[in-house]
Amino acid sequence: MDSARSTEPVRRPPVPVKIVIAGGFGVGKTTTVGAISDIPPLTTEAEMTAESVGIDNPGQRTEKRTTTVAMDFGSVSIDHSLKLYLFGTPGQERFGYMWDDLSRGALGAMVVVDASRLDDCYPAVDYFEQVGLPFIVAVNAFDGRLGADLDTVRWALAIQDHTPVVAFDARNRTSVRDALLVVLDLALHRAVSHRSPLRA
């Protein structure tokens, strides 16, 4: 009995990794979490009211009726050894005070960008540069169009060379997965390069 038990491979629980999905108002953060999550995502959507007109600008997406007021939450298993926990931030600037809490303990972040409204994206880029959390800029190809090429986005947002800028489709699971893998790759590289060398 004992010898049979000892030959069984030890199945360790997956390593939990927290990733923040951030960005300006209405850029597709909730859509991103919903597209990839293995579980029904937890959302905190509230109806947008007439009072928000002129303050919250959804751009050309006049069909937008709700907005995130606290957070999005979802999870996805990358493989048996790694499980991502995704925390989406609210996009409205007045909820910016929540970003510290949502980012605590995160390994990396994905800043979702609508290239037709780049102005809305500066606060998220600034925030992650200031707190030093590895992040990528993921330009959401609304309706298959980027609105601006990636070099233009990098230049306009003054994105540093070591920060990846990628295109993705927030509604497409595979596309979101590929973008998240870039976040993981970046976070891993950062962790390895910041590790102090072993003493002989």
Q: Given the rule CB under 6 A, which residues bind ligand GTP?
A: 23, 25-31, 61, 63-64, 67-68, 90-91, 140, 142-143, 169-171
Contact positions with Mg ion (CB under 5 A) in 124-183: none
Q: Token pair for residue 177?
A: 């997965």
> Per-residue x/- mask for Mg ion, residues 42 to 81, rule CB under 5 A?
--------------------------x-------------
Task: Report the alpha-carbon distance of residue 103 to residue 54 in Å, rounded.
Answer: 29
Binding residue (CB under 5 A) for Mg ion from 17, 21, 23, 30: 30
Q: Kindly tell me which of 25 and 135 has the beta carbon lying closer to ligand GTP.
A: 25
Q: CB under 5 to 8 A by kind: which of Mg ion, ligand GTP, none does 142 bind? A: ligand GTP
User: H or E stretch including 182?
Assistant: helix 173-194
Return the ∠ at Cα 84 (arms to 181 and 139), rounded to 5°: 45
How far apart are the two ends of the chain, measured CA to CA in Å? 44
Q: Is residue 89 involved in binding Mg ion (CB under 5 A)?
A: no
Q: Token pair for residue 161?
A: 């060379």
